[in-house]
Chains A and B, each alone.
Chain A
C-alpha cells in the first residue's frame, strides 16, 4: 500500500551482535546514566510547604463575590447551575426583605448555595454563565477531607469575606 503519510519507517530487526548479547556494556551504560541522576537536584516540590505557582488562568475553588459596597452579587438566577455539566451546584432562592439592602444587591438572592466539590470538574462554565459576575474560580486547590458530606461547600465557605467597614 502507498504510505498515507511520510511518517512511515521501515523497522529492521538486526540480530544482536556479541557485545549486545553479553548485556554487560549496556548494563554499565545504564548504571552510568542512573548514577548521573543520583547527584541531580530533585525536582520534587514538597507540597504543603512549597507550592508551585498557579498560572494566571488557573481554576481553583469558587468564591461568591461581593460588590463594592460589600453586598452579595448573586441573584440566584440559576444560570450557573444550569450551565454546570457536572450538576454540582444547587441553590435555594429567597426574596430580599426590607432592611437587607446592605446585604444583597438584587431583590432576589441565594439563601442556600452549595457546590459539591467532588462533582465539580473545575471547567469554569459557571463563571462564564453568570450574568452578575458573582462567581469566580479564583481560589486555591480544594483541600482534602475525610467525609463526602464535608465536600459540599455552602455559603459559609464560598462567599467572600465581608469588606471591613
Chain B
C-alpha cells in the first residue's frame, strides 16, 4: 500500500466515523420530531430554528450531569460496558461499501474502508459483540433491574441472531459471496436482492429490530417493568453512550439492510447517470442514493416505534423460536429448490 492510499483510507475512516456520529446525533432529534408528528404535536422547537440545536443541547447536558458510580458496582466493568457498546457500534461501518470506486485524476478511491471477503460474517461478529456492552454494563451495576435487563438483552439477541443468520444464508445462496462489495455490485441497476428474497428481508428486518433493541423489541430497557433496564444505574455521558450506540446501531443496520437487500448504492438508470457525470461525480450520486435509502430505513424504524406497543417477553420468544426460525429454514429450502431448478 502506498502512503497516499493509507492517508486516503484514514480520511475515509474519519469521514465515516464523523458521519455516523452526526447521524446518530441527529437521529435523536429526528426521533423526537417524528414522534411528535405521529402524535399530532410539534416536537422540540426551542433550541435554534425548528430546534435543530436540540442534540447539541442534549449532549451538553449529558456531559455536565453528575457522574455516579454506585458503591457496590464493579468499577472497571461499569465503565467498560458503555465503552464497549459504543465501540462495537462504531466499527460495524468498516465493511459497508458506500459507493462505487471514485476516480479523481489518476487516483482510484475505494469508498469502503475494508473490502474483506467475509464482510457479512464480520458484520455478524460485530453485532453479536454488541450485546456484551449491554451485558457487562447490566451485570456490573449490581442492581437487579439492570441484571434482568442484561439477561433479557442476551437471550433476545441470541434468539434473534439465529433467525437473522438463517435469513442471510438464503441470501448468500443467491449471491454466492460473503463480500459486501460483490453483493452490492451484483445488484447493479434494479436487480435488487429484495426481488429475489422478500421473505428473507422480512425476517432480516424483524431481527434487526430485535438486535438494535428497538420497539417493539426493546425489552432490555422496558421502563414499565425494569425502571431503565440495563442502564438503570447509569448517568451522565455513560448513559449517553448507551443511547448513542443504539442510534448508531440503527444507522449501521439500516446501511446493512440497504446494501444487502435494497441494492446499496445502485439505482435504476445509474449507467446513464454515470456516463453523463463522469467517474468523479457519478459514484457520489450513488452514495447519496444509498444514504437516502438509509434514511428511509431509519424513518421506518421510528415509524414502527411510534406505532407498535412492546411485545411481552414470552411473545417475543415465541415469535423468535416458533415462527421466525421455521420460516427462515423454509425460506432456505425453497430458495435452494428454486436455484437448483433454474440451473
Contact = CB atoms under 8 A, between A and B. Distances in A.
B303 A34 contact: yes
A44 B304 CA distance: 23
A30 interface: yes
A91 B39 CA distance: 48
Interface string B284-327: 00000000000000000001101110000000000100000000
Interface residues of B, number: 15
Contacts of A31: 303-304, 307
A117 B303 CA distance: 43
Interface residues on A, range: 10 to 19
A36 to B, nearest CB: 10
A42 interface: yes
Nearest to B38: A34
Contacts, number: 36
Interface in B126-154: none
Contacts of B66: none
Contacts of A19: none
Contact of B38 (A27, A38, A43): A38
A46 interface: yes
B37 A37 contact: yes
A42 B307 CA distance: 17
A30 B41 CA distance: 18
B316 to A, nearest CB: 12
B36 interface: yes
Interface in A16-55: 23, 27, 30-31, 33-35, 37-38, 40-44, 46
Contacts of B39: 37
14 contacts: A23-B319, A30-B307, A30-B308, A31-B303, A31-B307, A34-B303, A34-B307, A37-B39, A38-B34, A38-B37, A40-B40, A41-B40, A44-B41, A44-B42
Interface of A: 23, 27, 30-31, 33-35, 37-38, 40-44, 46
Given A38-B38, A44-B40, A46-B42, 10 more contacts: A23-B319, A27-B308, A31-B307, A33-B307, A38-B37, A42-B37, A42-B41, A42-B42, A43-B41, A44-B42
Q: Which 3 A-B pairs have the closest CB atoms?
A: A34-B307, A44-B42, A30-B307
